[in-house]
Amino acid sequence: MARAVAGRSAEPIGLGMSSARVFRFKAKRGATLYLKVRRVSGAGPSLAAERDRLLWVAGRLPVPEVVAWADDHVCEFLLMSEVPGRPASDPIEPHDVRRLARAVGESLRRVHELPVAGCPFDARADAWIAEARRNVAAGTVDIDHWEREHPGRTPADVLDDAISALSRLAPPRREAFVHGDACLPNLLFVGLAGPDRPQWGAVDWGLAGAGDPMRDLALAAWSLTWNHGRGFEDDLFAAYGPEATAPGAAERRAWHLLLDELL
Ligand SMILES: Nc1ncnc2c1ncn2[C@@H]1O[C@H](COP(=O)(O)OP(=O)(O)OP(=O)(O)O)[C@@H](O)[C@H]1O
Ligand SMILES: [Mg+2]
């Protein structure tokens, strides 16, 4: 790994909320590389999980190539190639937001078109609930804005709400390969402002697996509003296709957002 980054200058990247740190290694000549470092004891998916998912989708979706991986029992290290482009969360001209929303919808449709048969990774509702349960038990749920969103409720109450709400939902219309954390910082685009179809790629695949495609749409639409303001969700859904607004889809998206409060 040290040999692979020799001669490159390291620059920390500020995006992201996980327990991982990311560094960009730029070379005067040669490709830029990204190093993700995570404490083994940290919250969230391991970098080994992210590595395995990257290897599974390699060549089928525009994802980073795994250059090297290491684990010294304190930290894990994942060295990757660069996905070109700017994160979709970066500020853009207001007249480009609609185009961005459509590009996000199209990119998620492409992710969900990947054949999911034989996918060894579980991103179904039960897996998210198990993770939420672990976070509630460990007291690691982020409750910074909790009082406004869930006045008088504890994380354990919200977990109970989510579990009972799930039993009232119609099951997902289909299972797909989902990204699992399809918020805008994880989606990168080249050429959003130009006349051509933007080129996309995605990073941060540690939560990907077979699951409900509405999870990705829920997080992407929420993140789109957070980063670029209200009024663009319909463009995202229209570009994705009719499944995004089919009966039951809105309820499933709302459920994923509720559970995500605990993830
Ligand atoms: N291989 C890559 N190519 C281009 N950009 C990358 C790459 N890996 C990471 N980045 C940039 O670094 C940011 C942070 O990386 P990443 O999303 O993997 O970690 P994280 O955000 O800390 O995790 P989380 O989203 O769970 O909080 C990304 O949003 C992206 O802008
Ligand atoms: Mg990220």
CA distance 245 to 228: 21
Residue 26: both structure tokens together: 């730029």
- Cα dist from 187 to 35, 63, 72, 86, 182, whole Å: 17, 10, 30, 8, 7
Instruction: Tell me what the mean pLDDT of segment 142-161 comes to.
Output: 91
Both ends of the chain: CA-CA distance in Å? 31
> 109 and 165 in one domain?
yes
> 97 and 166 in one domain?
yes
**Looking at 48, 81, 114, which one is the last position of a domain?**
81
Percent of the chain with pLDDT over 70: 98
Q: What is the dihedral of CA 131, 260, 128, 73, to 10 degrees?
A: -40
**Looking at 62, 81, 100, which one is the last position of a domain?**
81
Instruction: Tell me what the mean pLDDT of segment 97-125 comes to.
Output: 97
Residue 90: both structure tokens together: 């970066």
CA distance 212 to 196: 31
> Does the Cβ of 36 fall within 6 Å of ligand 1?
yes
> 216 and 196 in one domain?
yes
Task: Give every strand in the sheet of 66-71, ordered side by side.
Answer: 9-13, 20-26, 33-39, 75-81, 66-71
The alpha carbon of 222 and the centre of ligand 2 are apart by a number of angstroms equal to 15
> 142 and 38 in one domain?
no
> 58 and 103 in one domain?
no
CA distance 10 to 244: 40
Residue 82 Cα: closest atom of ligand 1: 3
> 196 and 252 in one domain?
yes
> 97 and 33 in one domain?
no
> 245 and 141 in one domain?
yes
CA distance 181 to 185: 10
> 110 and 224 in one domain?
yes
**Looking at 63, 81, 99, which one is the last position of a domain?**
81
Cβ count within 10 A of residue 192: 19
Residue 45's domain comprises: 2-81
Angle between helices 249-260 and 155-168 (to 10 degrees): 160
| Cβ contact 162:131 at 8 Å | no
Which residue, judged by its Cα, is nearest atom 2 of ligand 1? 82
The pLDDT tens digits of the residues spanning 204-231 come to 999 999 999 999 999 999 999 999 999 9
The mean pLDDT of the chain is 94
Mutate to test the pocket of ligand 1, among 11, 21, 26, 34 (most ligand atoms within 8 A of CB): 34
| Cβ contact 25:35 at 8 Å | yes
H/E segment holding residue 75: strand 75-81
The pLDDT tens digits of the residues spanning 27-59 come to 888 899 999 999 998 888 999 999 999 999 999
pLDDT at residue 18 tops 80: no
> 107 and 67 in one domain?
no
Residue 61: which CATH number? 3.30.200.20
pLDDT at residue 81 tops 80: yes
> 209 and 143 in one domain?
yes
Residue of 90, 181, 204, 216 marked catalytic? 181
Residue 67: both structure tokens together: 């250059």
**234 carries an active-site annotation:** no
> Does the Cβ of 241 fall within 6 Å of ligand 1?
no
> 113 and 57 in one domain?
no
Specify the pairing of strand 187-190 against strand 199-202.
antiparallel
Q: What is the pLDDT of residue 147?
A: 84
Rg of the chain on CA atoms, in Å: 19
